[in-house]
Amino acid sequence: MKNKAFLITLITILVIQTLLTGCAKSEGSGQNAAASWQTNTSESQTEEAVEETETDTDTVAEDTESTEITEEKEDETMNNTEIPALRDCVPEEMGGALIGCAVTYNELKDPKVFEILTTHFNAVTFGNELKPDCLFGYHNSACPGTEEAELNGETMIVPKLDFSRSEEMLDKIHEYNEANPDRQIKVRGHVLVWHSQTPEWFFHEDYIKTNDYVDKETMNKRLEWYIKTVLEHYTGPDSKYKDMFYGWDVVNEAISDNGGKLRTDAEKSEEKLSEDTHGSNSSWYHVYGSNEFIINAFKYANKYAPDDLMLFYNDYNETNLAKRNGIVELLKAIKENEGPKGEGTRISGMGMQGHYHMDDPSANEVEVSAKAYAEVVGTVQLTELDITASSDYDGSAKAKDEENEKLRKRYNVLYYTLRSLKNTQNVDITGITFWGTADHYSWLQSRSNVGGGNTSGLPQMPLLFDENYEPKPAFFVFAQTTG
Ligand code: GLA
């Protein structure tokens, strides 16, 4: 009973606060108009948010106790409450930062995901569809066929690309953008160069994976051709999609978890490199034996990308000390090679993936890392944010409530940290992207062992919307505004 009164009171406060502040509601916002979810949060964020603006990050990291509220209100206030749209709140709180989510081809076909995307987000990353394996038509075991292409005045033989899956997704968003010019959604290109989800045959003579690896010179041509063709296709002057992209992950995950060195071809020595399309080994490294492919990737991206397309390096475990140092060194190397189009590199920012756990990393580690990256490349974005469940989470209804509350507090601390970095510490954080929309679609569900967190294989609940597409308590952390 006490809990019920508590709940009602807090929701009332949330409603009043939202009405009083400048955060626009989802109602009337474009084609998909209002989100009609009822608020099901167990506690308003208002008091904590106010309280937290007066404390420092470290204090907030420890301060996870809820604020006591005693007033009571009537039940009706719970019904049919319009919820704010994240895209109207987060940019306001974060100096115009983008608020994004990842969606895959199948997820985008789910009308409820599409509604969440178009109501709440102004940026999107495709979960898989702009990765090399998809652009090669998922022909992972053998090259799908070749054709001729021109590169720097020379004719070369290249594998056939298949843009169809990504285009289907882009067309849908393009159509939405045309119909809703004031509520457009921007796209993050993800990713050009990655050791994973890149067919092994791409690195071998005649694109046959049982042949020898090609030499560096040949691989450079393939690298340049791939980056040129992909960037021109989506962002070139004749592309239907040219105005849709705000940035592109040029290189993903090139630093190893072991000591922050460059990821090599021997992360798992027992694995055969040529059968390791999803493993840890890097065939890029195998061909080059150095960071040259990374430097070259940023040179080619600079050469072929429009000047206003942001170019990112993106990595996970990015708050880990040794790995952070390794990433910083790499970013410096990319910066040192900066130069004009066609000659040098260009890098606009660091993508901190943000695949975090309930207890790790600390707010302080996030803060220190964001500052370290910003010091080298200026801009930082959170690009794949999600949070693995606590190690004792067992998936039961009771545990779920508790876990939701933990998640809310975890996101609260994290968001406070990001706002503090942006608004009071001058760290240029220009985007926050969640790796998914509703919990049941999260990539974490299919992982039996997610390092550092829940290793039981039980359901995960890392995102802002639950399996019924309802906003969770954690949603309201980001749907708040101080006006
Ligand atoms: C990495 C990649 C993403 C995605 C996620 C998990 O972080 O950058 O593209 O594969 O893992 O789904």
**Residue closest by Cα to atom 4 of ligand 1:** 127
Ligand 1 atom with the shortest distance to the CA of 191: 9
**Residue closest by Cα to atom 9 of ligand 1:** 127
Q: Residue 350 forms beta bridges with which residues?
A: 313, 380
Whole-number pLDDT of residue 457: 65
Whole-number pLDDT of residue 395: 86
Q: Cα separations (Å) of 42 from 14, 33, 38, 39, 120?
A: 11, 25, 12, 9, 21
Same domain, 23 and 143: no
Same domain, 15 and 99: no
Place 122 in a pLDDT band, splitting at 50, 70 and 90. Answer: very high
pLDDT tens digits for 292-322? Answer: 999 999 999 999 999 999 999 999 999 999 9
Same domain, 117 and 208: yes
Which stretches within 236-320 are classed as H helix? 283-288, 292-304
121-129 average pLDDT score? 98
Letter for the amino acid at 319?
T
Provide the domain limits for residue 48. Answer: 2-79
Q: Which of the pair, 446 or 398, is modelled with greater confidence?
A: 398
DSSP SS3 for 304: helix
Q: Which of the pair, 48 or 346, is modelled with greater confidence?
A: 346
pLDDT of 76 higher than 50: no
Place 79 in a pLDDT band, splitting at 50, 70 and 90. Answer: very low
pLDDT of 6 higher than 80: no
Same domain, 50 and 124: no
**Residue closest by Cα to atom 12 of ligand 1:** 443
Q: Which of 10-14, 57-61, 159-163, 310-314 has the lowest mean pLDDT?
A: 57-61
- Interatomic CA distance for residues 199 and 202, integer angstroms: 6
Pairing of strands 123-126, 146-151: unpaired
Pairing of strands 146-151, 154-159: antiparallel
Whole-number pLDDT of residue 71: 34
**Residue closest by Cα to atom 8 of ligand 1:** 252
Same domain, 91 and 48: no
Distance 435 CA to ligand 1 centre (A): 8
pLDDT of 452 higher than 60: no
Residue entry with tokens 């071809």: 265
pLDDT of 35 higher than 50: no
pLDDT tens digits for 235-256? Answer: 999 999 999 999 999 999 999 9
Whole-number pLDDT of residue 394: 86
Whole-number pLDDT of residue 127: 98
Same domain, 164 and 58: no
Same domain, 74 and 106: no
Average pLDDT, the chain: 84
Percent of the chain topping pLDDT 90: 73
Whole-number pLDDT of residue 275: 54
Same domain, 209 and 350: yes
- Interatomic CA distance for residues 424 and 37, integer angstroms: 34
Two structure tokens written together for 285: 């490294």
pLDDT of 470 higher than 60: yes
Other beta carbons within 10 angstroms of residue 471's beta carbon come to 24
- Residues 132 and 161: beta-carbon distance below 8 Å: no
Q: Which of the pair, 14 or 380, is modelled with greater confidence?
A: 380
447-473 average pLDDT score? 77
From 79, 110, 145, the end of a domain falls on 79
**Residue closest by Cα to atom 6 of ligand 1:** 443
pLDDT of 482 higher than 60: no
Residue entry with tokens 């090139």: 254
pLDDT of 268 higher than 90: no
- Interatomic CA distance for residues 418 and 366, integer angstroms: 9
Same domain, 177 and 41: no
Number of H helices, E strands in the chain: 15, 11
Same domain, 156 and 13: no
Place 56 in a pLDDT band, splitting at 50, 70 and 90. Answer: very low
Whole-number pLDDT of residue 456: 52
Distance 156 CA to ligand 1 centre (A): 31
149 secondary structure, DSSP code: E
From 79, 104, 136, the end of a domain falls on 79
Place 274 in a pLDDT band, splitting at 50, 70 and 90. Answer: low
From 79, 106, 135, the end of a domain falls on 79
Q: Which of the pair, 169 or 446, is modelled with greater confidence?
A: 169
Q: What is the CATH number of the domain that holds 393?
A: 3.20.20.80
Q: Cα separations (Å) of 206 from 143, 245, 248, 270, 382?
A: 9, 33, 29, 26, 38
Secondary structure (H, E, C), 364-382: HHHHHHHHHHHHHHCEEEE
Whole-number pLDDT of residue 82: 83
Ligand 1 mutation target, pool 191, 350, 443, most atoms within 8 A of CB: 443
Pocket of ligand 1 (CB under 6 A): 190, 252, 316, 353, 384, 443
- Interatomic CA distance for residues 21 and 184, integer angstroms: 23
Whole-number pLDDT of residue 78: 36
Domains in the chain, number: 2
Task: Kindly report whether the peptide bond that precedes residue 361 is cis, defined as omega within 30 degrees of 0.
Answer: yes
Same domain, 97 and 154: yes
Whole-number pLDDT of residue 277: 56
- Interatomic CA distance for residues 282 and 353, integer angstroms: 19
Find the helix or strand (DSSP H, E) in which 220 lies.
helix 216-235
Same domain, 12 and 109: no
Two structure tokens written together for 402: 């508790």
Place 447 in a pLDDT band, splitting at 50, 70 and 90. Answer: low
